[in-house]
Structure 1
Amino acid sequence: MTDTPHPSEARPRRRRRWLRWTLGGLGAVVVLLVGGILIYTQVGVMGAEPGPLAEAEQNPDLTITDDGAGIVLSPTTGATGQGLVFIPGAKVEAEGYIATFADTVVDDGITVVITRPWLNLAFFDPRPLSAFTDLAPDVTGWAVGGHSLGGVRACQLASDADALVLFASYCANDLSASGLPVLSLSGSEDGLSTPQKIADATAQLPASATFVEIPGASHASFGAYGPQPGDGTPTADPDEVDRVIAEQLAGFLPRP
C-alpha cells in the first residue's frame, strides 16, 4: 500500500517544482535573448569597400596600426598633436572608415583612432575614452566623434574630450549647457539621420554648435562600406565628401 503524502509535505514539493519550472523558463528566455543579440550583431555587418581601402593602405604617407581595440591612423610625417577618437555606426566594421579619414590624416596631420565597438554596436561598449586615446600617446588634444549610432555613444563620452564631432548623427543626452565645441556634419540625402532628425535634436547641443550639411551626401557617404538599407541616394562624389570632412575637421579640431 502506497503512503499518501501528508498535505503539509506535498506543498513544499509543489513549491520546489514550481520554482524549478520558473527558473528553467527564465534561463531559457535569457539564453534565447543572448543568442538573438549575438546573431543580430553578427548578421549583416558591413565591411570596407575593397577599392578605397586598398588605395588608403597603399598610401605611403598614411600609417595604419591595428591594436585590436581600434585602428590608429597616423601621418607618416607632420603630426600636429591633434586627435579624433571615432566610433563607427551600428554593424559597420572599423575598416569601413579608413578611406574616409585618409585625407584628414595625410593632408592635415591629424591622428584618428577608429574604435572597434563590442559586438559591432557602440551601446554594448562600456570602455572609457581613455581606452582609445591611450593608443596614441603623442596626441595632446582629443575630440570624440562617431557616425550614426556611434555618434550617440560619442555624446556620452564627450565630457572627457576637448570637442565633439557628429557624423550623420545627433545626441540623445543633453549637452546644451556643457560649453563643449561641437561640429555636426550631415548629408542632404541622408535617409536615416535625416535633415529633420538632425534639426529636431539641436536643442541637445550648445548654442555655439556648428552645423554643416554636405549637399548630395547620404548616410553611407560618411564611410566607405557601400550602400545601406533605408538610406537615400547620394549624388555627391565620395572623394568630394571626404574632402569636405577633412576641411571641416582641420578648421574645427582644437589645437594643443
Structure 2
Amino acid sequence: MADESGAPPRRRRRRVVRIVGIAVAGVLVLAIVGGLVWAGTPYRAEAAGLAAAEADARITVADEGDVVVLSPAAEASTTLEGQGIVFFAGARVDAAAYVATFRDVAAAGATVVLVRPILNLAIVELRPLSTFTDAVPGVESWSVGGHSMGGVRACTYAEDDAVQALVLLASYCSLGDLSGRDDLTVLSITGSRDGVLRQDAADEARDLLPDDAVFVELEGVNHAQFGDYGAQPGDDEATVAGDEAHAEIAATIVDALDG
C-alpha cells in the first residue's frame, strides 16, 4: 500500500535511510577536514627567538623537516657533552618554537632533537625513538622530554631502558607507568602562571613517576613560555619576560642532567 506521496512504505524507508546516510557522511567529512585543518595550522615560532639562536656562535640550528636539531658548536661548553635530548612539541606547536627554550641547553654541550610529530599532535606519534636518535650519531646517552601533550607522549618513550632521563615541561604522565624505573632521572617543570595545565591531574599522576622525581615550579612563567610561539588561549598572563623564562627553564634542565 502506498503512502500519501504515492511511494510504497519500503521504498520510502530506503530513501529516508539513504538521505540520513548521506547527511551523516557529510558531517563526518566536514569533521575530518576541520580536524586536519586545525591540526595542520600550528603555532609558529617567534622570528626574534629563531634569529637569536641562529646568530648564537655556541650552537648550530638545522631544520631537517621532521626534526629541528640544535647541536653544540666549538664555542659550547662541555657540561652536557655526549648527551642528547629528543623533545616532543606540544599540541599544534611547531618544533621550531622550542629553539629559544633549548638554546642554552645546546650551548651546554647537549644535542637537542625537536620533533615535529605526525599531524602536529604528539599523542598520535607512532615512530620509534630510533627514528630520531639514529639521525644524530655520536651521542652517548639519550633523554626524552616534551611540552604539554608532547610530555605525555615522551613518558611512553621513557619506558625504554636506553633512555636516561625524562624532562616534562608543563606536563605529566598519563600514559605509561615509570614508577619502577629507579634508574631514570625525572625532572618536571611547571609555571606558577600556567592557565592551561590541569594541575589536579598532574598531581594525581605523580605516582606514575619514580619516587626521586624532581618537581620545580618557576614563578611567573605561564604555559606558552615553555615554548616561544606567542600567547595561547586560556593561558594566564606571565609576570616574567619570555627570555627570562627560557633562561630559567634551560638552567633547570642543565642542572638536572648534569647531576
Give me the TM-score of the superposition, normalised by structure 2. Answer: 0.84
Separation in 1, partners of 2:138, 2:19: 57
Q: What SS does the aligned partner of 2:207 have?
A: helix
* Matching residue of 1:162: 164
Contact 1:62–1:102 under 8 Å retained in 2: yes
Do structure 1's residue 110 and structure 2's residue 110 form an aligned pair?
Answer: yes
1:219-247 CA-to-partner distances (Å, cap 9, x unmatched) read 01111111110011111232222222222
* Matching residue of 2:214: 210
Separation in 2, partners of 1:101, 1:181: 18
Q: What SS does the aligned partner of 1:192 have?
A: coil
| 120-129 vs 29-38, which moves further | 29-38
Q: What SS does the aligned partner of 1:99 have?
A: helix
Q: What SS does the aligned partner of 1:65 have?
A: strand
Do structure 1's residue 120 and structure 2's residue 124 form an aligned pair?
Answer: no
Deviation, structure 1 residue 30: 5.1
| 79-88 vs 146-155, which moves further | 79-88
Separation in 1, partners of 2:134, 2:28: 35
1:42-73 CA-to-partner distances (Å, cap 9, x unmatched) read 24x21111112111111122111122220110
| Structure 2 counterpart of 1:68, from 65, 68, 75 | 65
Separation in 1, partners of 2:198, 2:83: 30
Change (3 A) 1:131 1:26: farther
Matches within 5 A, 1:238-249: 238-249=242-253
Separation in 2, partners of 1:25, 1:253: 55
Separation in 1, partners of 2:129, 2:146: 12
| Structure 1 counterpart of 2:33, from 13, 31, 35 | 35
Separation in 2, partners of 1:242, 1:39: 30
| Structure 2 counterpart of 1:48, from 37, 45, 49 | 45
1:83-135 CA-to-partner distances (Å, cap 9, x unmatched) read 110100011111111111111111x1111000011111112221111111112
Deviation, structure 1 residue 199: 2.2
- Counterpart residue type for residue 89 of structure 1: G
Do structure 1's residue 226 and structure 2's residue 230 form an aligned pair?
Answer: yes
Contact 2:123–2:153 under 8 Å retained in 1: yes
* Matching residue of 2:91: 90
Unaligned runs of 5+ in 2: 1-10
RMSD over aligned CA atoms reads 2.6
Separation in 1, partners of 2:49, 2:129: 28
Separation in 2, partners of 1:38, 1:26: 18
Contact 1:141–1:254 under 8 Å retained in 2: no
Percent of counterpart pairs with the same letter? 47
Unaligned runs of 5+ in 1: 1-12
- Counterpart residue type for residue 39 of structure 1: V
1:162-211 CA-to-partner distances (Å, cap 9, x unmatched) read 21110000011222223222110110110011544432321221111100
Structure 1 runs (4+) deviating above 3 angstroms are: 16-33, 194-197
* Matching residue of 1:147: 147
| Structure 2 counterpart of 1:251, from 211, 234, 255 | 255
